[in-house]
């Protein structure tokens, strides 16, 4: 049965999966959602024996119904290969009574690799299916990880160009070095004077510029997105929650049908939304625990039902979560509004105009699957040190947010169901913050000395992603004001 996608702002616009992937954002500014969430049609006993790639096919075939079996399997094979430093792709590590789902074994050592390794293949396959003649220009904003993962995925992919905007002073030194040293004739990296929300708003504005779209088409270009608003990002993320459950069941850790709690550190909400979709597909997931840092707009939303971005933007040691406009939350809002596009539009207009909205009591009742929590900078630091001293396992700053939130949730709720924590980045990506948390004496070392010391204390090999940038030359040094974003895009495209 073919699964079509509709916009969260207009249910009359339906498109096939490949068209939703190509467009990225619906023309009315809405996000594409499946008309219904399909049910897993393979038993957990079979899933338990499957590789990551096989699991990916069983999940993704249900969402991407206009891809042939051959096309989809080819995309999966191209994505989940030796770019990952472990055959398991997403291994589980037990420490301190919980299971850390390590999503950082890809080319750029962050969870974004899980989806951005496959998105270029889904996109180019979608372009062929829809007879697209234009060159596809990937336009994306990043809070640190999406940018590098997207650049690595799209570098030198024929028929594509990629432009990444990032907040010049809002990412870690390693994250910035990873982006500005990116090779590839079709890649362009731009720093902006502003924060991630400024970059993301600027990108959305460019996407919505009808005159520019006409100009681009005449020049042989069209935009698409690699941000988590693209359904081609969200669907691959569902896979690792299905895989994690199946592997814990295979190991005898979970009995058949036993519920598993999931904790996700998130700013843009896509990564936890994927777990929500997995639950709705029939995976026995209990509570979905949404972990925030000091930018706790999501925690406040789950606590009160009010989303309010009118607050100070705080730069933290977990920069990928330094976000006040959680784009993917719109997909959840649309669902708990009973797929009422008009209600969703009213709320999103309120967010755009006043910076806030409040959901109804009926909608609040449909959030019972979720719990929220947040960790301060001090609590993040304490959690890294605590877990390391107790187990020898080193968490990155984002995973430490989730780990702290989980312990607070368990203490408060008494909920002792087995739990998976999404470990979203390698500690090597945030070495200074991580090493300072373990012992302030490390602050005297430079960034790459810290890398080597982390390797010693964690008894892990320095990832290739870090080795590659030690001596790599800076290839991208453009920095602009927010209002110059459109102009720099046109300049890069030679328009």
Write out pLDDT tens, residues 173-188: 899 999 999 999 999 9
pLDDT at 228: 84
Query: Could you tell me the two tokens for 202?
Result: 């600027």
pLDDT at 215: 96
- Cα atoms found within 13 Å of the Cα of residue 470, Cβ hemisphere only: 12
Report the 10 Å Cβ neighbour count for 364. 14
Helix (H, G, I), strand (E, B) or coil at 32: strand
- 316 pLDDT exceeds 90? yes
Task: Provide the CA 456 distance to its chain's centre, in angstroms.
Answer: 29
pLDDT classification of 85: cutoffs 50, 70, 90? very high
Q: Is the pTM of this model over 0.85?
A: yes
Task: Provide the CA 101 distance to its chain's centre, in angstroms.
Answer: 14
pLDDT classification of 365: cutoffs 50, 70, 90? very high
pLDDT classification of 494: cutoffs 50, 70, 90? very high
Quote the percentage of the chain above a pLDDT of 90.
89
Q: Tens digits of per-residue pLDDT, 227-246?
A: 888 999 999 999 999 999 99
Q: Element (H or E) spanning 478, and its range?
A: strand 478-481
pLDDT at 144: 80
**Which residues are CB-contacts of 206 (< 8 A; sequence separation ≥ 6)?**
139, 212, 223, 485, 486, 489
Q: Tens digits of per-residue pLDDT, 262-306?
A: 999 998 999 999 999 999 999 999 999 999 999 999 999 999 999
User: Mean pLDDT across the stretch 407-419?
Assistant: 97
Q: Tens digits of per-residue pLDDT, 105-139?
A: 999 999 999 999 999 999 999 999 999 999 999 99
CB 50 within 8 A of CB 58: yes
Inter-CA distances, 317 with 18, 168, 377, 397, 435, Å: 37, 15, 7, 6, 12
Q: Tens digits of per-residue pLDDT, 25-36?
A: 898 889 999 999
On average, the pLDDT of the chain sits at: 95
Q: Tens digits of per-residue pLDDT, 462-485?
A: 999 999 998 899 999 999 999 999
Q: Tens digits of per-residue pLDDT, 30-78?
A: 999 999 999 999 999 999 999 999 999 999 999 999 999 999 999 999 9
User: Mean pLDDT across the stretch 86-94?
Assistant: 97
pLDDT classification of 145: cutoffs 50, 70, 90? confident
Helix (H, G, I), strand (E, B) or coil at 193: strand
């Amino acid at each position: 049965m073919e699964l079509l996608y509709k916009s969260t702002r207009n249910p009359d616009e339906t498109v096939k999966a490949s068209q939703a992937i190509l467009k990225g954002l619906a023309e009315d500014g809405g996000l594409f959602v499946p008309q219904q969430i399909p049910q897993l049609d393979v038993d957990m006993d079979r899933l338990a024996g499957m590789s990551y790639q096989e699991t990916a096919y069983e999940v993704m075939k249900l969402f991407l119904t206009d891809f042939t079996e051959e096309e989809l399997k080819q995309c999966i094979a191209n994505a989940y290969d030796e770019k990952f430093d472990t055959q398991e792709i997403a291994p589980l590590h037990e420490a301190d009574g919980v299971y850390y789902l390590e999503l950082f074994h890809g080319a750029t050592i962050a969870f974004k690799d899980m989806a951005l390794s496959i998105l270029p293949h889904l996109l180019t396959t979608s372009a062929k299916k829809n007879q697209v003649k234009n060159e596809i220009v990937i336009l994306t904003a990043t809070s640190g990880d999406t940018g590098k993962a997207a650049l690595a995925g799209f570098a030198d992919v024929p028929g594509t160009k990629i432009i990444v905007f990032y907040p010049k002073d809002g990412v870690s030194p390693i994250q910035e070095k990873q982006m500005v040293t990116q090779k590839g004739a079709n890649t362009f990296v731009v720093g902006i004077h502003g924060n991630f929300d400024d970059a993301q708003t600027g990108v959305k504005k460019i996407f919505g510029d009808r005159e520019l779209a006409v100009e681009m088409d005449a020049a042989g270009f069209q935009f698409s997105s690699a941000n988590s608003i693209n359904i081609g990002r969200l669907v691959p993320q569902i896979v690792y929650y299905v895989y994690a459950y199946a592997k814990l069941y295979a190991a005898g850790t979970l009995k058949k049908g036993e519920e598993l709690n999931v904790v996700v550190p998130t700013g843009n909400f896509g990564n936890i939304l994927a777990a929500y979709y997995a639950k709705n597909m029939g995976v026995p997931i209990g509570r979905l625990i949404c972990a925030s840092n000091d930018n706790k707009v999501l925690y406040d939303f789950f606590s009160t039902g009010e989303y309010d971005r009118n607050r100070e933007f705080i730069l933290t040691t977990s920069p990928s979560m330094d976000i006040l406009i959680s784009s993917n939350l719109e997909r959840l809002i649309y669902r708990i509004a009973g797929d009422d596009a008009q209600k969703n539009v009213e709320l999103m207009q309120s967010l755009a105009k006043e910076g806030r909205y409040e959901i109804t009591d009926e909608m609040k009742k449909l959030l019972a699957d979720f719990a929220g929590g947040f960790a301060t900078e001090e609590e993040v630091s304490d959690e890294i040190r605590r877990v390391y001293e107790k187990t020898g396992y080193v968490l990155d700053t984002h995973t430490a947010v989730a780990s702290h939130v989980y312990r607070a949730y368990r203490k408060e709720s008494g909920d002792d169901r087995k739990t998976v924590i999404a470990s979203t980045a390698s500690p090597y990506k945030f070495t200074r913050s991580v090493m300072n948390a373990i012992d302030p004496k490390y602050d005297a070392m430079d960034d790459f000395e810290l890398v080597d010391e982390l390797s010693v204390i964690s008894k892990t090999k320095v990832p290739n992603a870090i080795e590659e940038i030690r001596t790599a030359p800076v290839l991208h040094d453009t920095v602009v004001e927010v209002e110059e974003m459109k102009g720099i895009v046109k300049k890069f495209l030679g328009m």
